[in-house]
Amino acid sequence: MSSPIRVALIGLSKNASASWAARAHLPYLLSPRGQEKYLIVALLNRSVDSAKAAIKAFDLPSSVKAYGSPEDLAKDPDIDLVVACTRVDTHYETALPALQAGKNVFIEWPVAQNAEKVKELANIAKNRRARNIVDIQGRKSAVALKLREVIEKGTIGKVLNVEARIASPGSKRDAVPDSLDYFVNKEVGGNPITIAYAHTLDPVFDIVGRPQDLHFNSQIRRRLKKVGDREVKSDVPDYIAFSGRLPASPHVADGAIFSSTFRSSPLFPSEQAYTLYIDGTLGEIRITTNPVSFWTFAEEVRIDVHDYATDQVNQVEWEWEAWQKDLPPPARATGALYEIYAQGKEVEEGVLGLQDAVGLHEIVDRFVGNA
């Protein structure tokens, strides 16, 4: 049996027990299956004391090292994989030293504040031959895998067009919580478009192709937002509409169109927050759900297929693997990425890496007005 992959976690804080590091990464890494392949050996937080407090709070072994600077972490020869789970505007500064030192990295999406910074990280990773994964985990969710299966089996023939209507049911139209105040500042890089919208688009792009020749309009419908007891002017669009042509493939017809709208507010009462239509030559797929983050959490998601020849609509069942069901929902798809990385199959399995992430970042940069 090979030695476990030695992991350094960035951003696991005792003051952020509901953070993504604690919700999506730690459960798999501490599971029996995860511990067969991985070993947490270090934590990096804003200070050594903060890292030590997190080690204690999450009951990690006393052998886990505490770091307060990315540069010190990068010098540690006993780390195989650096996992960056901080807020998006600190991904670049925390991952850069590790990549410069030639360490392999696992970075949350969005990778950085803009595509230029992502391109820099991608070039360093390439030059240093560092393996890298971007945690846009929806590609490996149970729903996405089932959707790919249905399309690649030819159930609906060749794809003619894709239409996605997406909203944010948990958001308020004119307010954001104090904890998400950065959602109104596009320079931070983390907002409903770069996070929620990108996470819902990418798994579909991965299956049918990333659209080209984009035409889009963005709008700030409610510029003044309430943040706690303050009123703040937002520079982040809260409505997007776009269309583009899909590249032809064995499963996608030449000239097929992808179109979508996104609003960072609820839809009309009783309507689903996410509706995806994939129209083909033989039939059509419809996916509906209320949580926008279903590619990651995927609990109550319905897949229906309309067969044009019989005019019958059939529901397609899907489910997580048995080992994933033992994990909390946020950790299931991320756990799949860890499994793929441990097998060394991230390229073969089509996991998003830094080089390919540049293109997706360029799209969302245009949406939010950073391009």
Q: Hey, where are the domains in the chain?
A: 5-136, 139-319
Q: Which CATH architecture has domain 5-136?
A: 3-Layer(aba) Sandwich (3.40)
Q: Which of 34-43, 185-194, 212-221, 245-254 has the lowest mean pLDDT?
A: 185-194
pLDDT (tens digit per residue) in 115-138:
999 999 999 999 999 999 999 999
What's the pLDDT band for 17 if we cut at 50, 70, 90? very low
Say yes or no to pLDDT of 205 above 90.
yes
Say yes or no to pLDDT of 152 above 60.
yes
Mean pLDDT computed over every residue of the chain: 93
Say what percent of the chain tops pLDDT 70.
Answer: 97
pLDDT (tens digit per residue) in 241-278:
999 999 999 999 999 999 999 998 888 888 888 999 99
324-329 mean pLDDT: 95
pLDDT at residue number 42 = 99
Cα–Cα distance between 31 and 65 in angstroms, integer? Answer: 20
- Do 5-136 and 139-319 share a fold? no
Contact 183, 195 (CB under 8 A): no
Say yes or no to pLDDT of 91 above 50.
yes
- Quick one: which of 286, 242, 294, 238 has its CA closest to 266? 238
What's the pLDDT band for 16 if we cut at 50, 70, 90? low
67-83 mean pLDDT: 98
State the DSSP H helix or E strand holding residue 173, giving kind and residue range, or none if neither: none
Cα–Cα distance between 305 and 312 in angstroms, integer? Answer: 8
334-338 mean pLDDT: 98
Please tell me the pTM assigned to this model: 0.94
Say yes or no to pLDDT of 298 above 70.
no
Contact 273, 292 (CB under 8 A): yes
pLDDT at residue number 200 = 93
pLDDT at residue number 294 = 66
pLDDT (tens digit per residue) in 95-114:
999 999 999 999 999 999 99
Please state, in angstroms and as integers, the Cα–Cα distance from residue 276 to each residue in 40, 261, 286, following that order.
39, 11, 6
Q: Which of 81-85, 267-271, 288-292 has the highest mean pLDDT?
A: 81-85
pLDDT at residue number 146 = 97
Q: Residue 144: phi, psi to the nearest 5?
A: -65, -40
175-181 mean pLDDT: 81
pLDDT greater at residue 273 or residue 170:
273
What's the pLDDT band for 292 if we cut at 50, 70, 90? low
Q: 139-319 domain in CATH 3.30.360.10?
A: yes
pLDDT at residue number 370 = 63
